[in-house]
């Protein structure tokens, strides 16, 4: 009893009390456990022989007698126990419980069965056998084979076979779950038989507030992961009105019925042979809390509601989606039992090449489905798989529509579960329609008897999410369109995911690392000079973009940035031996040209330093460099398919990417990323998240960003840090408004739409369709002005995108919308872009790069808001328009371009430049009064508040930079220039529009030129 309890005679608050409470809960009538005796534990075999003997005598009495289990001195008994121990060593305890084993004695051969499987409803024999299982919990288990008195707080067994061990700690005695973890690492010898790999399912560290677990003890390298429910979008557990916060562990997760389900469907002993060393690697899999929770909730809802459901699962990177999908897929197949199966087949759609093998490997641990998984590359593969009764078919997002398009109505009477990995808008639109069309429920008609109206109605039916299929969409970053398709409307009127495991929780629990914690921007400083005598005029906005691209892609700039990257890699990653000396880095380049330039620059600099390390470049297709075509394989010296594997081996330490490997690439050894590309929205999150994969030796990550502002990256991550919900939906009336614009242009008539659609659905020769399309193109070109052409084409694109989105979710039919969408889909690519003179052409011929330097700023740690993000699907009505160019002389453009250097003889040039270019604009952007002015007022009022915000920012730097304040106060020209420059840099005309930058469709096509 604790000192306080002894002193006052109060409640026992000791660790022993927690232990007693847990055992009391487990052994209560509702708990289902019996208390085992420490004395019946055989340390040499890691078996509770008393429980094993009792189980076999009740369920398999002949085998129990043959094994002479009642005679502790029997050699036959010892041989049997040795056989059990050896089987567990080879196959893990989960293999023995799931498969049983054969054992022969002098009296015959016997099959030993452990009735671990959950009995199906109505199966009385299975129910009786399952009740015979002996689930036992033992306190203070002395486990050491050398006879020492070291004891575990708790251990649990089924039929005498060990399942899990527990170390308990008590916050009242100033010890926590972390102390329990340290006890496992430092005082529990992994060489002890009970702690050997695969001997138990898991080892749990527990206190009143938190749970952690480990599947393989390895001393100080033991990797314990959280097993908490989550609380308020982050780590931890919610308050429990009935007792301990962690009571769910022993009351729910480890109840006999739940544990039997885990043994049967989740826990696995996996193995993989290394093709190089030929050694077999084995490891134990046990589900994390959120994985078990999501799969069970999906199965329960699917069984209760049948087919035709939609589920959006927002699970962060690092959540273990591959295993979650594998566990879900193999259990959906059996859902409902043989006589009333909910689904005939499960189709998994993924864009990750390794997922199919991972699912197949996991599912094949469950013998009843060993031969029922197939990867389908072609439509023939899918047809054969379904015809042969294959239960799980895996394909890629890219190939799935092609695979399905010729299946037609062959499977209209079957029921499907469609699991979509990393679901985004592509899976919500035409890909989903392709699935629906191929697996559709529309009755089969004789084609010769179909009218055009029949065909139109059939297409409309096929576009909708199917009634004979349920969709399970997994993504870490749901867009508005994804939420609109797969989300569920809540009482608050918002569309919610079905299940959430947030980025915040994943970071706080250590499943992934926070990529924003060590974020460094690298500012570029350069000066351009005019190289021609005359002073031609150019479009200022376009010219500025071209100038920046010219500067950043200049060979001198590439070499400068490459040297910064390499020096940083060597000094901050390799020499400090990050990730145990195995750390890798990635360069995210803006296009193939930039990636190849970086490859040569980095490789040359590494050789100049006599460094043993080398770079790998990754891009698709061929690229012309130095007068000859090159590929990633020709530059790297090995096949493209070997990049991922080779990158893990020395001397390769830096991977330079042009689009490839920016998404779907899971490499825990990736530690640092060098970004030289514009990133925003979901693309920013997906790209930077390549760094966040956890590794036992990985304690931090780093980003050096040469292109983006920190606040833009921060804004992107906020959308998916916690739960993401959809605040509204696309208004179908948008299509009426867009159609009014299109019809009013006079490019087509009603008869043109009907004629084209009828010809198209009748499969008439393409040449006849081209004739009609060409006539409409002529009508488009005869519009009164280029502005009208821009307006028409922008509206046409918006109509097709919006209809594509709404077609799958609208409860009613509108054949006229579909017919116009069909016509526009084929007409848009033929509409020429309005001929427009590029008023920035030639700007690069008028300038030379006078100087360039890149300056690494202080690393910052970005924090994200602690609230859910609401995305919106609607956008303001607006059709494509042409912006008027702002023409300025080249000298003025260059002056403005170089102006952040200024022409004032500052005492500390670099400090002033950084204040003007970075710190003051950043402070103004964060000014709440200015933010409100942008959101709620017009541009003129926002400009007034911007000038005031600049004044406030200058005052904030008064103590450290009196020189800057002096110029601002006394030099009107400088003040005008600075306030104007800051306003241009910070003003966002769409600040009052909460529309997502990426999604969904709207009528606003912006400055459309084809």
Between these two residues, 493 and 259, which has the higher pLDDT value?
259
Q: Is the pLDDT confidence value at 383 over 80?
A: no
pLDDT, tens digit, for every residue of 179-216? Answer: 999 999 999 999 999 999 999 999 999 999 999 999 99
674 neighbors 854 (Cβ within 8 angstroms)? no
Q: Is the pLDDT confidence value at 766 over 80?
A: yes
For the chain, the C-alpha Rg in angstroms (whole number) is 33
672 neighbors 569 (Cβ within 8 angstroms)? yes
- pLDDT of the residue at 86: 92
Q: How far is CA 89 from CA 243, 262, 301, 766, 979, in A?
A: 38, 20, 38, 67, 73
666 neighbors 648 (Cβ within 8 angstroms)? no
- pLDDT of the residue at 25: 95
Q: How far is CA 526 from CA 523, 548, 602, 901, in A?
A: 10, 10, 21, 9
pLDDT, tens digit, for every residue of 145-157? Answer: 877 778 999 999 9
Cα–Cα distance measured from residue 727 to residue 870, given in angstroms and rounded to the nearest whole number: 6
Give the whole-number percent of the chain exceeding pLDDT 70: 74
- pLDDT of the residue at 438: 47
Tell me the sheet residues that pair with 538. 888
CA angle 422, 428, 430 (to 5 degrees): 120
43-50 mean pLDDT: 94
Mean confidence (pLDDT) of the chain: 80
Q: How would DSSP label each residue in 76-105?
A: HHHHHHHHHHHHHHHHHHHHHHHH-EEEEE
Q: Which tokens is 129 given?
A: 């056998």
Q: Which of 39-48, 647-656, 959-968, 988-997 has the lowest mean pLDDT?
A: 988-997
Between these two residues, 319 and 227, which has the higher pLDDT value?
227
pLDDT, tens digit, for every residue of 611-625? Answer: 999 999 999 888 888
Cα–Cα distance measured from residue 609 to residue 170, given in angstroms and rounded to the nearest whole number: 55
Residue 31 CB neighbours (<10 A): 19
**Per-residue pLDDT band at 15 (split at 50, 70, 90):** confident
Q: Which of 394-408, 687-701, 815-829 has the lowest mean pLDDT?
A: 394-408
Q: Which of 457-466, 641-650, 726-735, 931-940 has the lowest mean pLDDT?
A: 457-466
Q: How far is CA 199 from CA 88, 155, 157, 217, 309, in A?
A: 6, 12, 11, 11, 40
Cα–Cα distance measured from residue 877 to residue 835, given in angstroms and rounded to the nearest whole number: 26
592 neighbors 658 (Cβ within 8 angstroms)? yes
Q: How far is CA 83 from CA 89, 96, 97, 411, 618, in A?
A: 10, 11, 14, 49, 51
Q: Is the pLDDT confidence value at 1010 over 50?
A: no
Pairing of strands 108-112, 519-530: unpaired
Using CB atoms within 10 Å of the CB of residue 275, give its burial: 0 to 12 exposed, 13 to 18 middle, 19+ buried: exposed
Q: Is the pLDDT confidence value at 1009 over 60?
A: no
Between these two residues, 707 and 169, which has the higher pLDDT value?
169
Q: Is the pLDDT confidence value at 357 over 60?
A: yes
Contacts with 904 (C-beta within 8 Å, 6 or more apart), sequence order: 912, 967, 971, 974
51 neighbors 64 (Cβ within 8 angstroms)? no
pLDDT, tens digit, for every residue of 292-333? Answer: 999 999 999 999 999 889 999 999 887 888 889 989 998 998
**Per-residue pLDDT band at 953 (split at 50, 70, 90):** confident
Q: Is the pLDDT confidence value at 10 over 70?
A: no
SS3 396: strand
Cα–Cα distance measured from residue 100 to residue 113, given in angstroms and rounded to the nearest whole number: 5
Q: Which of 205-209, 372-376, 490-494 has the lowest mean pLDDT?
A: 372-376
- Would the CATH topology of 287-501 be identical to that of 519-721? yes
Cis peptide before 95 (omega within 30 of 0): no
- pLDDT of the residue at 619: 93
- pLDDT of the residue at 317: 80
- pLDDT of the residue at 428: 44
Q: Is the pLDDT confidence value at 407 over 50?
A: no
Using CB atoms within 10 Å of the CB of residue 537, give its burial: 0 to 12 exposed, 13 to 18 middle, 19+ buried: middle
Pairing of strands 652-657, 584-589: parallel
Per-residue DSSP letter, 118? P
**Per-residue pLDDT band at 46 (split at 50, 70, 90):** very high
571-580 mean pLDDT: 92
511 neighbors 225 (Cβ within 8 angstroms)? yes
What is the CATH T-level fold of the domain 519-721, as seen in this structure?
Answer: Rossmann fold (3.40.50)
- Highest mean pLDDT among 432-446, 495-509, 723-737, 974-988 belongs to 495-509
- pLDDT of the residue at 277: 75
Q: How far is CA 533 from CA 691, 891, 894, in A?
A: 50, 10, 14
**Per-residue pLDDT band at 444 (split at 50, 70, 90):** very low
919-941 mean pLDDT: 77
Q: How would DSSP label each residue in 132-154?
A: T--EEEEEEEE--TT----EEEE
Using CB atoms within 10 Å of the CB of residue 630, give its burial: 0 to 12 exposed, 13 to 18 middle, 19+ buried: middle
Q: Is the pLDDT confidence value at 258 over 90?
A: yes
**Per-residue pLDDT band at 547 (split at 50, 70, 90):** low
Q: Which tokens is 565 given?
A: 């990257």
449-462 mean pLDDT: 55
Q: Which of 79-93, 724-738, 977-991 has the lowest mean pLDDT?
A: 724-738
Q: HSE-up of 950 (CA within 13 Å, CB side)?
A: 28
**Per-residue pLDDT band at 678 (split at 50, 70, 90):** confident
- pLDDT of the residue at 522: 76
225 neighbors 509 (Cβ within 8 angstroms)? yes
Cα–Cα distance measured from residue 579 to residue 585, given in angstroms and rounded to the nearest whole number: 12
**Per-residue pLDDT band at 905 (split at 50, 70, 90):** low
- pLDDT of the residue at 237: 95
Cα–Cα distance measured from residue 189 to residue 192, given in angstroms and rounded to the nearest whole number: 6
Sign of CA dihedral 236, 241, 243, 249: negative
- pLDDT of the residue at 348: 87
523 neighbors 918 (Cβ within 8 angstroms)? yes
Helix, strand, coil percent values for the chain (each to nearest 5): 45, 20, 35
Which phi and psi angles does 784 have, rounded to 5°? Answer: -60, -30
- pLDDT of the residue at 762: 85
Tell me the sheet residues that pair with 520. 704
Q: Is the pLDDT confidence value at 677 over 80?
A: yes
Query: Which among 156, 158, 181, 149 has a CA at the least distance from the CA of 168?
Result: 181
- pLDDT of the residue at 305: 93
Task: Name the CATH architecture for the domain at 287-501.
Answer: 3-Layer(aba) Sandwich (3.40)
* Domain spans of the chain, in order of start: 12-268, 287-501, 519-721, 889-986
Query: Measured between alpha carbons, how far apart are the two ends of the chain, in Å?
Result: 79
**Per-residue pLDDT band at 398 (split at 50, 70, 90):** low
- pLDDT of the residue at 764: 87
- Highest mean pLDDT among 125-129, 151-155, 941-945 belongs to 151-155
Element housing 42 (H / E) = strand 41-42
Which phi and psi angles does 134 have, rounded to 5°? Answer: -110, 105
**Per-residue pLDDT band at 650 (split at 50, 70, 90):** very high
Q: Which of 8-22, 723-737, 898-912 has the lowest mean pLDDT?
A: 898-912
**Per-residue pLDDT band at 883 (split at 50, 70, 90):** low
Q: Which of 359-373, 528-542, 894-908 has the lowest mean pLDDT?
A: 894-908
Between these two residues, 542 and 84, which has the higher pLDDT value?
84
- pLDDT of the residue at 725: 66
781-796 mean pLDDT: 86
Which phi and psi angles does 754 have, rounded to 5°? Answer: -60, -45
Q: Is the pLDDT confidence value at 284 over 60?
A: yes
- pLDDT of the residue at 961: 72
Residue position matching structure tokens 């009390």 = 17
- pLDDT of the residue at 976: 75
Q: Which of 71-75, 426-430, 528-532, 547-551 has the lowest mean pLDDT?
A: 426-430
């Amino acid at each position: 009893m604790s000192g306080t309890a002894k002193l006052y005679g109060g409640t026992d608050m000791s660790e022993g009390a927690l232990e007693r409470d847990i055992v009391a809960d487990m052994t209560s009538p509702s708990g289902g456990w019996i208390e085992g005796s420490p004395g019946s534990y055989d340390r040499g075999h890691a078996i509770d022989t008393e429980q094993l003997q009792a189980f076999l005598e009740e369920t398999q009495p002949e085998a129990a007698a043959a094994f002479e289990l009642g005679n502790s001195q029997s050699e036959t008994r010892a041989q049997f126990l040795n056989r059990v121990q050896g089987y567990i060593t080879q196959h893990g305890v989960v293999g023995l419980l799931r498969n049983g084993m054969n054992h022969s004695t002098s009296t015959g051969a016997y099959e030993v069965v452990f009735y671990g499987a959950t009995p199906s409803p109505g199966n009385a024999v299975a129910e009786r056998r399952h009740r015979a299982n002996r689930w036992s919990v033992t306190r203070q288990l002395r486990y050491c084979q050398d006879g020492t008195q070291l004891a575990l707080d708790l251990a649990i067994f089924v039929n005498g076979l060990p399942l899990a061990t527990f170390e308990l700690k008590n916050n009242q005695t100033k010890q926590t779950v972390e102390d329990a973890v340290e006890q496992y690492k430092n005082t529990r010898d992994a060489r002890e038989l009970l702690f050997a790999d695969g001997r138990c399912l898991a080892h749990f560290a527990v206190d009143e507030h938190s749970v952690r677990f480990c599947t393989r003890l390895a001393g100080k390298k033991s990797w314990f992961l959280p097993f908490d429910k989550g609380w308020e979008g982050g780590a931890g557990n919610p308050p429990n009105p009935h007792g301990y916060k962690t009571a769910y562990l022993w009351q729910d997760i480890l109840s006999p019925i739940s544990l039997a389900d885990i043994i049967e469907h989740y826990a696995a002993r996996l193995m993989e042979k290394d093709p190089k060393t030929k050694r077999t690697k084995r490891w134990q899999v046990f589900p994390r809390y959120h994985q078990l929770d999501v799969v069970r909730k999906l199965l329960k809802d699917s069984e209760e509601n049948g087919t035709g459901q939609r589920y959006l699962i927002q699970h962060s990177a690092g959540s273990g989606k591959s295993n979650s999908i594998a566990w879900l897929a193999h259990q959906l197949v059996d859902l409902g039992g043989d006589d009333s199966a909910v689904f005939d087949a499960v189709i998994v759609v993924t864009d990750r090449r390794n997922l199919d093998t991972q699912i197949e490997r996991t599912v094949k641990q469950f013998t009843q489905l060993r031969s029922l998984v197939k990867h389908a590359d072609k439509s023939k593969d899918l047809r054969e798989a379904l015809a042969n009764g294959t239960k799980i078919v895996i394909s890629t997002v890219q190939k799935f529509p092609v695979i399905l398009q010729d299946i037609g109505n062959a499977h209209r009477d079957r029921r499907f579960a469609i699991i979509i990995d990393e679901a985004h808008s592509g899976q919500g639109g035409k890909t989903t329609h392709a699935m629906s069309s191929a697996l559709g429920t529309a009755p089969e008609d004789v084609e010769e008897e179909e009218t055009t109206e029949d065909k139109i109605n059939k297409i409309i039916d096929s576009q909708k999410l199917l009634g004979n299929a349920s969709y399970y969409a997994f993504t870490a970053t749901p867009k508005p369109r994804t939420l609109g398709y797969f989300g569920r409307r809540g009482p608050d009127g918002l569309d919610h995911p079905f299940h959430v495991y947030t980025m915040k929780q994943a970071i706080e629990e250590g499943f992934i690392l926070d990529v924003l914690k060590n974020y460094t921007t690298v500012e570029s400083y350069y000066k351009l000079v005019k190289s021609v005598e005359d002073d031609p005029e150019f479009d200022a906005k376009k010219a500025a973009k071209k100038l920046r691209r010219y500067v950043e892609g200049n060979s001198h700039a590439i070499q400068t940035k490459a040297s910064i990257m390499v020096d940083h890699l060597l000094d901050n990653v390799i020499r400090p031996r990050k990730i145990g000396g195995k750390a890798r880095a990635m360069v995210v380049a803006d296009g193939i040209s930039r990636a190849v330039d970086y490859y040569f620059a980095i490789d040359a600099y590494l050789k100049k330093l006599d460094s043993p390390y080398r770079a790998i470049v990754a891009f698709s297709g061929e690229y012309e460099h130095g007068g000859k075509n090159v590929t990633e394989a020709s530059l790297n010296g090995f096949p493209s398919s070997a990049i991922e594997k080779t990158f893990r081996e020395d001397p390769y330490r830096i991977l330079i990417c042009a689009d490839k490997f920016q998404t779907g690439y899971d490499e825990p050894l990736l530690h640092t990323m060098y970004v030289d590309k514009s990133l925003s929205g979901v693309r920013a999150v997906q790209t930077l998240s390549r760094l966040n994969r956890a590794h036992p030796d990985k304690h931090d990550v780093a980003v050096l960003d040469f292109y983006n502002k920190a606040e833009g990256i921060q804004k992107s991550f906020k959308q998916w840090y916690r739960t993401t919900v959809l605040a509204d939906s696309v208004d179908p009336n948008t299509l009426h408004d867009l159609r009014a614009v299109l019809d009013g242009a006079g490019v087509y008539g009603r008869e043109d739409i009907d004629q084209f659609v009828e010809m198209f659905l009748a499969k008439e020769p393409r040449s006849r369709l081209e004739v009609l399309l060409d006539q409409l193109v002529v009508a488009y070109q005869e519009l009164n002005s280029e502005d009208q052409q821009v307006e028409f084409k922008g509206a046409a694109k918006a109509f097709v995108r919006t209809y594509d989105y709404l077609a799958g979710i609208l409860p009613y039919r509108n054949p006229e919308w579909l017919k116009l969408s069909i016509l526009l889909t084929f007409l848009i690519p033929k509409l020429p872009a309005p001929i427009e003179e590029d008023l920035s052409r030639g700007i690069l011929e008028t300038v030379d790069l006078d100087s360039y330097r890149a300056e690494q700023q202080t690393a910052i740690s970005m924090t994200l808001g602690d609230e859910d993000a609401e995305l919106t699907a609607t956008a303001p009505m607006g059709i494509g328009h042409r912006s008027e160019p702002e023409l300025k002389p080249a000298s003025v453009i260059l002056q403005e371009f170089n102006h952040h250097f200024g022409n004032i003889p500052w005492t500390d040039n670099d400090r002033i430049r950084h204040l003007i270019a970075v710190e003051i604009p950043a402070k103004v952007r964060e000014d709440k009064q200015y933010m409100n002015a942008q959101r709620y007022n017009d541009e003129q009022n926002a400009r007034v508040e911007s000038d005031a915000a600049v004044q406030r920012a200058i005052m904030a730097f008064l103590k450290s930079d009196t020189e800057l304040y002096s110029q601002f106060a006394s030099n009107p020209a400088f003040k005008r220039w600075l306030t104007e420059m800051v306003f241009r840099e910070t003003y966002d005309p769409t600040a009052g529009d909460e529309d997502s930058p990426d999604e969904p469709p709207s009528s606003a096509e912006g400055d459309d030129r084809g």
